[in-house]
Amino acid sequence: MGRRPATSRFLVRRLTTVLSTFALLLTGLQILPVAVPGLASPAGATVTGDPTNALAESADGIGCISDKTCLVVGGAPGGGFQATAAEVIEVANGAPGTVHKVTSVSGFDAISCAGQVGCEATGFAKTGDLAIAIAASGVAGKKVTLPSLFTAISCYGPSLACEAVATEGRSVSVVSTKAGAVGAVHTSSVTAPSGALDSGSISCWSATSCEVGVTYSTGQAFLGFVLPISAGVPGAVTKVSSTYGVTGIACPAAAQCTVTGNSVSGTAMVAPMNGSHLGTVHVVAQATELNDVSCSSFALCTAVGSTQGAKNPKGKSIVVPVSRGVPGAGSVISAAAVLSRVASASGGFYEAIGQVSFGLNSGNDVVVSK
């Protein structure tokens, strides 16, 4: 299944799954010492619990500020539209640390970081949608009103130049954000049969160049579309697949993008992409959905998703290494339902967030380290 259309705040903030309350985190560096009973691990990994319940009740985005530390954003326990504070949580080597409360924000939709330069996030409050500057320390700064719900963001470089994406109906909107300041909104439209866009993905490889990928659902099929962003202005929308929507996109350099996608029939794919040209589509046999991909280089990427499907209704999470758009053997995590977001840093370090559906109390967060 693909990402839900932007018709409900909570459907947009979470990827396609009926499981929706807590977080998983994966890292590539450290084996943590405490195993959680009932959870099987990928080869060479240990699954550990979060006894302090430090991770947000709903972990909605992740961005890395170094090759050892990422920031997770989400709603505070007991939160929702009426909440008066959300959370930013530092996660170092897979272990949750300091929790930063962000007042006057009810929840987050996405975050992207440019290393120690800092991060930008999108979120919402009682008063409407927001862009929020977040320092590498995890402390929130300036908050600026956005005109609508922007569910994806990508930031680049020392200037922390960011682009955020919103989808509604057949329209894809892009806005530039920087240090809590927001530029003009530019909109492009998808030409397609009756249907609607799901949430989009975006990846920037320079301060002015990005690529957006989206899924368009007709009710009978998922269609994949991409469009370039140049200096905050979207270019022509191109259909790249009549079978797979684009659920994730990662472009560490120009003409070196990797995309993930899902089909209505419950298959998932990975493919390289150069501009608007989709390369060879590789179906990942174990996966029924791949929700995101992140790359530290074109040769070193990680895709995440689930094996949940009609033949396996309880499902399991899956992590798939990808090199130059070609997937390797996936690692399946027993008793974990789905992974929804992943962030990378230099040296192949990555962490991902997702949800667990059985074998654990729904309030329990989980960390997977490898």
Could you give the CA distance from residue 242 to residue 289 in angstroms, rounded to a whole number? 16
Could you give the CA distance from residue 224 to residue 305 in angstroms, rounded to a whole number? 18
| Residue 9 belongs to some domain of the structure | no
| Residue 15 belongs to some domain of the structure | no
Q: Strands 282-283 and 300-306, how do they pair?
A: unpaired
Split into its structural domains, the chain has a count of 1
Between vectors from CA 311 to CA 310 and to CA 316, what angle results, nearest 5°?
A: 90
Residues 6+ apart with CB under 8 A from 116: 65, 66, 136
For tokens 């160049």, what's the residue?
209
**What is the reported pLDDT for 178?**
81
| Residue 42 belongs to some domain of the structure | yes
Secondary structure of the chain as H, E, C letters: CCCCECCCHHHHHCCCCCCCCCCEEEECCCCCCCCCCCCCCCCCCEEEECCCCCCCCEEEEEEECCCCEEEEEEECCCCCCCCCEEEEEEEECCEEEEEEEEECCCEEEEEEECHHHCEEEEEEECCEEEEEEECCCCCEEEEEEECCCCCEEEEECCCCEEEEEEEECCEEEEEEEECCEEEEEEEEECCCCCCEEECCEEEECCCCEEEEEEEEECCCCEEEEEEEEECCEECCCEEEECCCEEEEEEEEECCEEEEEEECCCCCEEEEEEECCEECCCEECCCCCEEEEEEEEECCEEEEEEECCECCECCCCEEEEEEECCEECCCEEECCCCEEEEEEECHHHCEEEEEECCCCCCCCCCEEEEC
Q: What is the pLDDT along the chain (370 residues), one digit of tens a residue?
A: 333 333 333 333 333 333 222 333 333 322 222 233 333 334 444 444 444 455 556 678 999 999 889 999 988 766 555 667 889 999 887 778 899 999 889 999 999 999 999 999 999 998 899 999 999 999 999 999 999 999 999 999 888 999 999 999 999 999 999 866 899 999 999 999 899 999 899 999 999 999 999 999 999 999 999 999 999 999 999 999 999 999 999 999 999 999 999 999 999 999 999 999 999 999 998 899 999 999 999 999 999 999 987 667 777 889 999 999 999 999 887 756 788 899 998 888 888 887 765 333 444 445 554 5
Q: Exposed (0-12), middle (13-18) or buried (19+): which is 280, by Cβ within 10 Å?
A: exposed
Could you give the CA distance from residue 146 to residue 245 in angstroms, rounded to a whole number? 26
Q: How far apart are the first and last CA of the chain?
A: 27
| Residue 7 belongs to some domain of the structure | no
| Residue 13 belongs to some domain of the structure | no
Question: Which residue range forms the structural domain that includes residue 173?
Answer: 20-369
User: pTM for the complete prediction?
Assistant: 0.85
Residue 351 falls in which region: left (phi positive, over 0), alpha (psi -120 to 50) or beta: beta
| Residue 206 belongs to some domain of the structure | yes
**Are the beta carbons of 298 and 258 closer than 8 angstroms?**
yes
**What is the reported pLDDT for 122?**
95
List the CATH number of the domain containing 109: 2.130.10.10
| Residue 10 belongs to some domain of the structure | no
| Bridge partner residues of 303 (DSSP) | 293, 320
**Dihedral angle over CA of 35, 88, 78, 58, nearest 10:** -60
**What is the reported pLDDT for 315?**
76
| Residue 83 belongs to some domain of the structure | yes
